[in-house]
Amino acid sequence: MEHAAPPAWVMLAYLISGVFFILALRGLSSPATSQRGNRFGMAGMLIAVVTTLITHEVASLPEILAAIAIGGGIGWVTARKIAMTDMPQLVAAFHSLVGMAAVLVAAAAFLNPEAFGINGADGLINPVSRVEMGLGIAIGAITFSGSVIAFLKLAGKMSGAPIMLPMRHLINLGTLAAILGLIGYFTVDQSPWIFWTITALAFVIGFLLIIPIGGADMPVVVSMLNSYSGWAAAAMGFTLHNTAMIITGALVGSSGAILSYIMCKAMNRSFISVIAGGFGAEAAATGGPAKEQRPWKRGSAEDAAYMMQQAESVIIVPGYGMAVAQAQHILREMADVLKKQGVSVKYAIHPVAGRMPGHMNVLLAEAQVPYDEVFELEDINSEFAQTDVAFIIGANDVVNPAAKTDKTSPIYGMPVFDVDKAKTVFFIKRSMGGVGYAGVDNDVFYMDQTMMLLADAKKMCEDIVKALQH
């Protein structure tokens, strides 16, 4: 049975939904237009879902409405309750659901090909559809198990440090070769054991690919898994002859891949070395001893307030610690007070600050920080040499000069902010004992012009605001 061409209005509806998805990506490229982009995405998805439900005998109307109510209810409650600090692991969890959805759809199509219109005249699934199905289930299973590991690392349920397996590269390459070989064999033999073996191996390789990747590379991992989920959806779209799935999957897959490449370039990483896992882990294991015993200077909220009041320019560098303390609102209030007193205030955002792409941008936008005060690394880094105060709130790895000087460091080669060139540095962190997500000590702590503000970031900013207003 060959798959019949859908009616023209269906193709038009899917095309319109695809246009909405493109507009959504366009809107999401800037915090100023992100809300509009989200609305475009919601509209596109609504058109695609309604069109699919009208043209396919999926289930009875009560069953469909019940499924929408359950899924929508879970999504609504999750979105309302989730803290911004937990957003990276939520994104990873969502990616795992997309991957599992691709696996379940592929399994349903394999077990009941007539319902999906993908069987040939002899009752077997078309060879081309088998290739698409094999790729879809492989990418989906990799996305699921990889996203689960990313979720556990981001949520602190397992160590964020690279977990190195012996001969991991040989095992990974062998497993990937076996998956590709079985997909090729699947085109001539539709035996169930081949299908389920591909599925099992893909679940395993997803696990193996992510556990060797350390915390410093986790933002790239989140972006990469996003790309995988898109390609899984696109592959299943080809199998099911669903234009909306193909368009949506291709958009998500390509945009995620481009973002991953951009982030790797920003970190001076090789994309292949990141996805191969464990980049820099050996260097980290053999690096020098911790330097926490070196002399350092402690400052107070009053010190910070006085120095920033006397300054002409202040550059704020936020990091994950700001997110944990939920200090973005009081930080903006501090900046507003400084601006009223004639101080120039700018925000410097590193491409991989936080635990996912754009993490700091989202937090600052939530606090209604003006977009024209927020600058990317390449646009502001040269200004630190002329800046009176660099105010670092919860960042670590992105301001660590070891990335420029220490070839044994796991972050060596990653572009970082030149905060060491500022006249004065205030560094907020909870204690001197902690290090960044990459597990590397920071020479900025011990510089002559650095004052450590050891406290909860939100509490410290509140105290600074009080001092500024007296």
Give pLDDT tens digits for 78-128.
888 887 667 778 888 888 998 999 999 889 888 888 766 676 656 678 888
85 or 431: which leads in pLDDT? 431
Least confident of 150-164, 176-190, 428-442: 428-442
pLDDT of residue 288: 43
Least confident of 28-37, 130-139, 141-150, 417-426: 28-37
pLDDT of residue 115: 67
Half-sphere exposure of 124 (CA within 13 A, CB side): 12
CA dihedral 275, 436, 86, 96 (to 10 degrees): 10
How large is the average pLDDT for residues 44-54? 88
pLDDT of residue 387: 94
How large is the average pLDDT for residues 141-155? 88
Amino acid 158 reads M
How large is the average pLDDT for residues 352-371? 82
H or E segment at 171?
helix 168-186
**What are the tens digits of pLDDT across the range 250-267?**
998 998 888 888 777 766
pLDDT of residue 339: 94
Contact 251, 227 (CB under 8 A): no
Least confident of 12-16, 221-225, 234-238: 221-225
Q: State yes or no: is 397 an active-site residue.
A: yes
Distance CA 216, CA 274 (A): 10
Contact 88, 136 (CB under 8 A): no
Distance CA 364, CA 31 (A): 9
Contact 172, 204 (CB under 8 A): no
CA distances from 155 to 23, 90, 151, 160, 381 (A): 32, 9, 6, 9, 31
Residue of 217, 397, 418, 441 with catalytic role = 397
pLDDT of 24 over the 80 cut? yes
pLDDT of residue 137: 92
- The answer for residues whose C-beta is within 8 angstroms of residue 102's C-beta and 6 or more apart is 136, 137, 139, 140, 143, 229, 232, 233, 235, 236
Give the model's confidence band at 289: pLDDT under 50 very low, under 70 low, under 90 confident, else very high: very low
pLDDT of 388 over the 90 cut? yes
**What are the tens digits of pLDDT across the range 393-414?**
988 888 988 888 877 776 777 8
Q: Which of 97, 110, 96, 100 is nearest to 196 (CA)?
A: 110
**What are the tens digits of pLDDT across the range 162-200?**
777 788 788 888 999 999 999 999 988 889 999 999 999
pLDDT of residue 382: 93
How large is the average pLDDT for residues 204-231? 82
Least confident of 28-32, 130-134, 151-155, 335-339: 28-32
Q: Indicate the pTM of the whole model.
A: 0.76
Per-residue tokens: 13: 């509806």
pLDDT of 437 over the 60 cut? no
pLDDT of residue 435: 59
Give the model's confidence band at 422: pLDDT under 50 very low, under 70 low, under 90 confident, else very high: very high
Phi, psi of 93 (to 5 degrees): -65, -40
pLDDT of residue 33: 83
Amino acid 50 reads V
Contact 176, 205 (CB under 8 A): yes
How large is the average pLDDT for residues 437-458? 85
Per-residue tokens: 366: 């939530």
Strand order in the sheet with 374-376: 374-376, 344-349, 313-318, 389-393, 424-429, 450-454
Q: Is residue 17 exposed (0-12), middle (13-18) or buried (19+ Cβ within 10 Å)?
A: buried
pLDDT of residue 203: 94
7 or 145: which leads in pLDDT? 145
Per-residue tokens: 101: 């959805």
pLDDT of residue 5: 65
pLDDT of residue 265: 74
Q: Express as a percent the part of the chain with pLDDT over 70.
A: 88
How large is the average pLDDT for residues 236-240? 84
Beta bridge partners of 123: none
pLDDT of 1 over the 50 cut? no
Residue with tokens 């700091």: 360
6 or 67: which leads in pLDDT? 67
194 or 357: which leads in pLDDT? 194
